[in-house]
Amino acid sequence: MKPAVREAYLNFDLSQMDFGILMNAFNEAREIDEGIFVEFGTGMGVAGRMMIPQLKDEWFYTVDPFKPYGKGDIDPWEGVNQNMLKGADFYLKEEDTTIKTLSELAAEAGCNFVHERIADYEFIHRTNEKFKFVYVDSDHTFQHVQHLCRIMILNNMIVDGGMIVFDDVSCYDHPTVDGFLQRNNYIKVEQGDFKISYRRGLDNALGFFV
C-alpha cells in the first residue's frame, strides 16, 4: 500500500478516496432503464447520501449485516491504536442513525429505499432483481471479493452496460479480480488508488479465476 493511501485512511480523508470515480459510474448507470442500484456495505452512509438524492423513482438497496467486517488482507491501521482511530467499529454503533438518515433522504427524493440487514452474498442469492449499478464496499479481502464477483457474474446479475465500482482496492489483490472481470468482458472505466469502476459489455463469455 502506498504511504499516501495509508495516510488518507488514517486521517479518514474522504477528499482523497476517489468519490469522483464512484459518481461518474453512478451517473452512467442512471441512463440505463433496467435494473436496480445496490450498495454492499452501508457503513456510515457516506456514499448513500451522495447517490440517493438523485434517484427519484429508482430502487436503491443498501446491504449490510452491521457486523464487523474483516480488516482486509492489507490493513492500513496495522500497528496503530485501532480503538482510538476506528472507535471499535464505530459505524456499527450508528446503524439506526445511518438508516434513518438515508430513509429520510430517500423519502424526500422520491427514491424507493430498502435496507437489507444480511450479507451481500446472501442478498445476491435471494434477489430476483438485476443490477444496473453495484458498489462493492463490504469485506475487503480477496477471498470475499473474489466470491462476490463469481456469483454476480456467473449468475448474470448485471445488466448490459451496468456498472460495478470496487472500493478499497489497495486492501487486497485486486489485479486478480481485474483479470477475471476483463475475461468476462467487463471493461475498466476508471482507476484510482481507492476505487476502480467497470462497465459490463455485451455478450459476456464466462471466465474463471486461475
- Per-residue pLDDT, 76: 77
- Per-residue pLDDT, 39: 98
- Per-residue pLDDT, 130: 98
- Per-residue pLDDT, 123: 97
Burial class, 92, CB count within 10 angstroms (exposed 0-12 / middle 13-18 / buried 19+): middle
- Distance, CA of 113 to CA of 119 (rounded, Å): 17
Where in the chain are the domains? Answer: 3-200
- Per-residue pLDDT, 12: 84
Question: pLDDT digit string (tens) for 144-175?
Answer: 999 999 999 989 999 999 999 999 999 999 99
End-to-end CA distance of the chain: 24
Instruction: Name the strand (E) or helix (H) holding 36.
Output: strand 36-40
Q: What is the pTM of this model?
A: 0.90
- Per-residue pLDDT, 27: 98
**CATH of region 3-200:** 3.40.50.150
Which residue intervals of the chain are DSSP H helices? 3-11, 19-29, 46-51, 82-86, 90-93, 95-109, 120-126, 142-154, 174-183
Question: pLDDT digit string (tens) for 85-96?
Answer: 444 455 677 889
Task: For the chain of 210 residues, list the mean pLDDT of each consecutive stretch of 10.
Answer: 87 92 98 97 94 98 85 72 50 85 98 97 96 95 95 94 97 96 96 97 50
Burial class, 181, CB count within 10 angstroms (exposed 0-12 / middle 13-18 / buried 19+): buried
Report yes or no: 120 and 148 within 8 Å, Cβ to Cβ. Answer: yes
Report yes or no: 140 and 69 within 8 Å, Cβ to Cβ. Answer: yes
- Per-residue pLDDT, 70: 65
